[in-house]
Each structure stands twice: as C-alpha cells, then as structure tokens.
Structure 1
Amino acid sequence: MSLVALIPAHDEQDRIVATLAGLYRQASRPDRIVVVADNCTDETARIAAHCGAEVFVPTDNHDKKAGALNQALGPLLDELDDDAYVLVQDADTVLNPDFVACAVDAMADPEVGAVGGIFYGEPGGGLLGLLQRMEYQRYAVEIRRKKNEAVVLTGTGTLFRASVLREVRAARLAGTVGGGDGYYSLASLTEDDEITKAVKTLGHRTVSPDGCWLVTEVMPSLGKLWHQRLRWQRGALENLRDYGWTPVTAPYFRQQMLLGAGALALGLFATFAVLSLTLVGWHGFSVFWTAITLLFVVERTLTVRRLGWRASLLAAPLVPELLYDAFRQAVFLRSLLDLALRREARWVAT
C-alpha cells in the first residue's frame, strides 16, 4: 500500500510549515508529500521544498483549486496502483497525529471509497471565531449522530482510494457525471461538495470516523465569512441543480429545504414578537414556553461544552447565536436569489 498527500496551496507561506509538520507527525506518515503551489506570489513553494516536500507548480491554471488538483493528479495517478491512497488536504489545516492511520483503518471496508475529516476551528478570531468553533463543534456532533457518515468530503482533509478517483474521472468522460474531464469538477464553486456527490453516485460509501479530526482556520471578519459561506452555499445549490433529485441527493435537498424553513420561521417569529409587543404589550412569562426555552438552552450549551466555559456562557443567552444563525440564513437567501436570477457567481479569496 502506498499513500501520497496532496496539498493545494495558494500564497500560504504563513501556514504551510504547520500543515507539513502535522503530516510529518502522523503515526502513519505518507510515502510522499506534494505541495501544489498554485499561482503563488509568495514563498510557499520555497518553504515547502525546504521542509522536505515535493513541489508541483501547475501550468497556466485558471480554474482555481480544482484545476490545480486536476493537473497534479494526472501524473500522480499514472504512477499509483488502484489500491493506493491519495490524501487531499488544504494548506490552512493541521491533521491530528492519528488522522491517516484512522482513515486507512476505515478503508478496510471495501464499500468505503473515501474518508472525510471532521473539522474544528483554530483558536483566535474573537467572538466571531468562537461562534464558528461552536458551529463546527455541533457539526461534529451531527456527524456522530449520523453514524459517522461523511456529509461532505471536506477539502480540509479527505483520503481517497486511487481507484475511486479514476472512476470519477471515467464517469465525467462518459457523461455519467458532469463537471468537465478531470478528477475534480471545474463547473462547481465547491468542488469538495461536488466530488462527494460524485463518489456516492458511483456507489461508494463516504465516512468520517471520530479519529479523523483536524483543525482549520476560522474567518477573522464578517466580510470574509460572508464570502466564504456565500461560495459554499451557492456551490451546494448549484450542485443539487446539476445532479437533480436522486437517492443520493435527496437528503441534501431536504437539508436545503430545512434551511429555507428555518429562515422563514425566524422571520415570522421576529415579526410576530415585534407586532405582539407593539399592539398587545408584555403579558409576563408563559410556563410552557419558558420550559421549552430552557430545554433549548440546555441542548445548546451541552453541545458546545467541550469548547470550555466561554462557549457554554455564550450559548446560554441564545441571542448571539440567533444573530449568527440569522447571518447564515441571509447567506442562504442571497444564494437562492442569485441562483434564481442567474447571476454570475464570483470567486472571492478568503
């Protein structure tokens, strides 16, 4: 068995050392580590080479991360057997030392075609950073509740069978799956979400075991967070449009419908509360609704308790997270509107 780590990187000189150190600390170290230095204008390539990694520089790439990965995967897969593994990891991410070993163990199940990581937010970022870490913590809880099914083969860290990547490209060439003629789709804003659907459409399971966790960056400002989430959400909606309703995409359609219902419910609740207080006034506490609210508070605080007392304290009053949820729902509505009006999607670096 051979395992190659592939790290797409664009101007990541400040983070590439920590990323590579995380790979060198793996209990099961990759046989090769290749940094894909895509349109870099900084010292990413030089630093990666100095740290002992191979460096691949894409030629005339205008297709962002997906295009860079496709160029690197071509010659790489020509050298690998079908039973080899390819780890694709973002350059702003640090894997826990047992990530690779855990992912390879999960591959013992022949039905598993890819293993995605469970991501947590790095320290810092103030209040906004803490809210993102709380969101990621609850996402990890949700993955466990789904018996560790990988909802998305996250770009922060995913292990593929080489044979599955070849199947994906063959399916694109045959027209069974869209997105161009490469391994990753060139037609999607969120290539990680799209390749998840491609792998599942081809009949493979995708999992995220508890041991496959990693730490990734959080957005330091509302502007960067808006652009990141707009890209994620618009890409997810476009991928569903392109794939249509299938047994694979049905749960994703339901998830998007629930997001829409949540946005509608929050808007109706806010409108009702304002009208009620304005026209009727305050009538005191309701025992029933107070009890429901307290149960909700308990659930919100318990699901982030591993992040420490600050997270639990922030979750308890509900209001900060309600505002954060309103922000996410605004992203959803904007993405839906842009898609409906066929506005051209713009990629903004974050």
Structure 2
Amino acid sequence: MAHLLNAFFLTLNAALAIPTAIYSVEVASGMLLRKRAGIQPGARRPQVAIVVPAHNEASVIGPTLAALHAQMQPDDRIVVVADNCDDATAQIAREAGAEVVERFNTELRGKGYALDAGISYLRDNNPPECVLIVDADCRLSAGSLDLLSKQVAETEKPAQAVYLMSAPEGAPLETHVAAFAYVIKCLARPLGVSRLGLPTQLLGTGMAFPWKALASVDLANGHLAEDLKLGLDLAQNGYAPYLCEDALVTSEFPISKEGLQAQRSRWENGHLSMVWSAMKMLFRPGGMRRPGAVVLGLDMIVPPLSLLLLLLMASSFATILVALILGDVGGLEFTLLNLALFGTASFAGWLRYGRDILPASDFVHIASYAFSKVPLYVNKLILRRKHTGWVRTERDQTESTSELRS
C-alpha cells in the first residue's frame, strides 16, 4: 500500500512540476533576459482597420473611440460591432465617426460572433492590410497603433500589445490580489516568453493581425476565452502571435465585488476549457507539427495561479500526511521543490512588477483569495458546467448587471 501511495504522489507531483516549471522559467526569463530588438526605424506603416466589439457599452465607448481617432492616419478606419445592444452604443459610435455593424442574434451570442461580423463586413468593404482589435472599455497608449501595425507589416504575424489592468480607487482588497495575479499573467510571463524569442498568447484586446491571418480562421464562436482559442488556431495555421513590448493597452478592474467575481469567473472558466484543448492538441497525431502552436499549448497548460497554488498546497498536505502515517518520504522532496519554485517565481514577480499593486502586508490574503475560487473550480473541473456567450462585467456599484449567457 505504501508503495502504491508513494507512486501515486510521485506521479501527481511530476505532473504538477510541468506547469510549475513553465511558469517559473517564463517569469525568470522576463527578469533576466534583455529586451529583444524592436521595429526598425522607417518601417512601413500599413493601412489599419480597428474593430471594436461592443455589447451595451454606451457608457464607455465614446472616450475609447476618441483616443483611437487621435492615433489614426487618413486611410485608417474604425468599425464598431454593436452586438445584441439595447442601449445607445451604435448611435454614439456613428456620431464619433465610426462605421457601425449592428448584429442581433438571440442564439449565437458572444465576442467571437461579434468579431466574425466585423471581419465579414471588412471582407465585403475594402479589406485592410492590418486589423486591430480593441475592446470598448480599453485605452491604447500613444504610439501603440503605429508600433503594432508596423510589427505586423514587418513580421507578417499577429502582434499583441502589453495589456495591463489596474485596480480603481476604492476597490476592495481582493481586487488588488486579482490585479497582482493579472500582472503576472499578462506582463511577467509574456515578457519572458517574448525575450526567449517565442510566440505569446493573445490577450483579447490590443491585438493586431495581417489580413491573411484572420482569413485563415473561423472567428464565429461563443467561447469565453475566444482570445486564447484564436491564438492557438492561428498558430496551428502558421500565424503564431508575438508580443510588441512597447505597445500598451490598459483598462480597469470593476470596483464591485460582484463585477470582479463575474469577470474572473469568465476568464478562468475560459482558461480551464482551453487547458484541455491545448493538452489534446499536444498529444494528438500531428499536434507537434507547428512549433508556435506547441509553445502556446505548453504555456496554456499552466492553470490560473490561484488554482496552481491550491493544487500545490493540496499535494503538499497529502504527501506530508502520507509521510507521517506511513513513514515514506519518497515524494516529499518533489512536492517541496514544486512549492519552492512556485513561491520563488511569484515572489520575484512581485518584487519586479507587483509591489505597487499589492503591499507585502496583504500577502496573507493570497491564500484566502485562492480558496474563494474553490466553488468555481468545482463547477468547472468536477461538475463540468459550461458557460458561453457575452458575459458583460458590472463595472461599478451603481451600474445594473447586464449579462447574456447561452
């Protein structure tokens, strides 16, 4: 019996060592390796069409469009897809000078379907050289439009801007914990991957594509992680995305607890769905054919950090318990090594990127934040409940929740 338990926990810890090692290497590479050469001076700047998918975004879309117009050249254009909107999103977009596609479909709902409608519109109306996708509640920093489009023209591959989300003033403590996890996911790890010269995940906004790349994939889906799915699909077609370190897109976390929970649930449910997709891709015949897809697949099997922390803690507790009861410590060194790698990488990431986001005095809340996610993981991993479609985040405490789920 002792040998069987020891073998089981060795296998479990070996499996957890894979995402833990990937996570640690990515964080370390971003800190230790030099920034790679950017776009060469004088690089050609292609024509750009900016697609803004929107579902009931009347409260935020005006300033977003104004900020985008400030970076556009005369032959650029903005296409707003007002998807299943029952507010003034379309009217505000038209008044701001955007081309507007209004889409109404009570069955096929979600950002993927909105993007497909925008690309179909462009296909029939003078397709551009480059397409940039920006969410309605995001801001593209000055100069980023040029940087992204020039990288696309030079590499003929999709380009992803650095995407940062901040906790608004007055946000609860758990928002700051979430913001720290997000900066690791969307800054520390992508920087490491980029400085290794490897492709990176798409992050849902601040994404630029050569037209022929988008023409190679089917965007029409209601997946909650349509960005991860799109990146993997593109990589399998030979168009793996690469980070553009100097381009930046920003937004804010919702201030309300309900809004934050809805947003994190959407992201993590989508991510967990893509973990299985990545694993199936890696192990099926021919899955290793495209190196870019392999890189994205390996990166994708790193679960959300709160889940990885929970798994490592559970594995450590069980391994220590077995060692105390049976006197067999064969798997103990392995599980402690995993915890040490995870803790060291996370602490190093906090020192470099997170000290202004999460004070050291609040570290004690990280574990409680992770445990608060247990119901979400039970629903997804054990009960296998699925969610698709638009899930619009409640951004403040006064705005009423407007969610569409299929």
- With the shorter chain as reference, the TM-score category is 0.7 to 0.9
User: Deviations for 1:204-225, whole angstroms, at most 9, x for unmatched residues?
Assistant: 2311222121112313334333
Aligned positions of 1:334-349 closer than 5 A: 334-339=379-384, 343-345=385-387, 347=389, 348-349=391-392
Q: State whether structure 2 residue 118 is matched by structure 1 residue 72.
A: yes
Q: Is the 8 A contact 1:185 1:191 kept in 2?
A: no
Is this contact kept in 2: 1:226–1:331, CA < 8 A? no
**Contact 2:130–2:211 at 8 Å: present in 1 too?**
yes
Query: % of aligned pairs identical?
Result: 24
Q: Structure 2 CA distance, aligned partners of 1:151 and 1:329? A: 28
- Is the CA contact 1:6–1:33 (under 8 Å) kept in the aligned structure 2? yes
Q: Give the Cα separation in 1 of the matches to 2:94 and 2:139.
A: 18
- The answer to whether residue 204 in structure 2 is matched with residue 204 in structure 1 is no
* Superposed displacement of residue 42, structure 1: 1.4
Number of equivalenced pairs = 313
**More off after superposition, 71-80 vs 89-98:** 71-80
1:153–1:301 distance in 2 versus 1, CA, 3 Å: closer
Residues 1:7 and 2:80 aligned together: no
- Residues 156 and 216 of structure 1 are in contact (CA less than 8 Å); yes or no, is this contact kept in structure 2? no
The counterpart of 1:131, out of the listed 166, 171, 177, is 177
Question: Could you tell me which residue of structure 1 aligns to residue 329 of structure 2?
Answer: none
User: 1:238: which partner in 2?
Assistant: 273
Moved over 4 A (4+): 27-30, 257-261, 268-274, 292-298
Q: Kindly provide the CA deviation profile for residues 130-165 of structure 1, in whole angstroms up to 9, marking residues without a partner as x.
A: 333322322302211112655432222211111011
Corresponding residue for residue 158 of structure 2: 114
CA distance in 1, matches of 2:142, 2:73: 8
Kindly indicate whether residue 204 of structure 2 is the aligned counterpart of residue 155 of structure 1: yes
- 1:230 shift after superposition: 2.7
SS state of the match for residue 255, structure 1? coil
Secondary structure at 2:216's aligned position in 1? Answer: helix
SS at match of 2:103: coil
CA spacing shift, 1:20–1:128, aligned 2, 3 Å: farther
- The alpha-carbon distance between structure 1 residues 43 and 300, as it changes in their structure 2 partners (threshold 3 A), is same
Q: Is the 8 A contact 2:158 2:242 kept in 1?
A: yes
Distance 1:321 1:106 in 2: 37
Using a 3 Å threshold, how does the CA distance of structure 1 residues 36 and 256 change in structure 2: closer, same or farther?
A: same
- After superposition, the C-alpha distances for 1:289-340 in whole angstroms (9 at most, x for unaligned) are xxx89978963541335x63xx35x23552122323334565344321233x
Deviation at 1:97? 1.2
Shift of residue 245 of structure 1? Answer: 3.0
Q: Distance in 1 between matches of 2:75 and 2:172?
A: 35
Deviations 1:105-125 (A, max 9, x none): 322443x52112221114333
Equivalent of residue 145 in structure 1, options 171, 192, 195:
192
Which letter maps to 1:50? E
1:185 Cα deviation (Å)? Answer: 4.0
Relative to structure 1, the CA distance from residue 186 to residue 271 in structure 2 (aligned partners, 3 Å threshold; closer, same or farther) is same
Cα gap change, 1:302 to 1:217, in 2 (>3 Å): same
Query: What letter is aligned with 1:67?
Result: Y
Which residue in 1 is equivalent to 2:328? Answer: none
The answer to whether the aligner puts 1:89 opposite 2:134 as a matched pair is yes
For structure 2, which runs of at least 5 residues remain unmatched after alignment? 1-45, 283-287, 322-339, 394-406
Q: CA deviation at 1:261?
A: 5.0
Q: Deviation string for 1:255-304 (max 9, x for gaps)?
A: 13987653222235678999xxxxxxxxxxxxxxxxx8997896354133
Q: Cα–Cα, structure 1 residues 301 and 202, in superposed 2: closer, same or farther, change >3 Å? A: closer
* 1:73–1:267 Cα change, 3 Å: same
Output the TM-score relative to the length of structure 2.
Answer: 0.67
Match in the other structure for 1:265? 312
Residues 162-204 of structure 1 deviation map (CA, whole Å, 9 limit, x = unaligned): 1011111xxxxxxxxxxxxxx3141523211111110011112
Whether the aligned pair in 1 keeps the contact of 2:113 and 2:222 (CA below 8 Å) is: no
In structure 2, do the counterparts of structure 1 residues 344 and 329 end up closer, same or farther at CA, with 3 Å as the change threshold?
closer
SS in 2 for 1:209: strand
> Separation in 2 of the partners of 1:303 and 1:193?
26
Amino acid at match of 1:8: P
State the secondary structure of the residue aligned to 1:26. Answer: coil
Q: Distance in 2 between matches of 1:13 and 1:101?
A: 27
Q: Which moved more, 1:250-259 or 1:1-10?
A: 250-259
TM-score by length of 1: 0.76
Contact 2:135 2:205 in 1 (8 A): yes
Match for residue 251 of structure 2 among 199, 207, 216: 216
Tell me if structure 2 keeps the 8 A contact 1:5–1:86. Answer: yes
**How many Å apart are 1:16 and its aligned residue?**
0.6
For the residues of structure 1 that align with 2:301 and 2:276, how far apart are their CA atoms? 13
* 2-structure distance, mates of 1:80, 1:344: 38
Does the residue aligned with 2:303 lie in a helix, a strand or coil?
Answer: helix
In structure 2, what is the Cα distance between the partners aligned to 1:200 and 1:328? 31
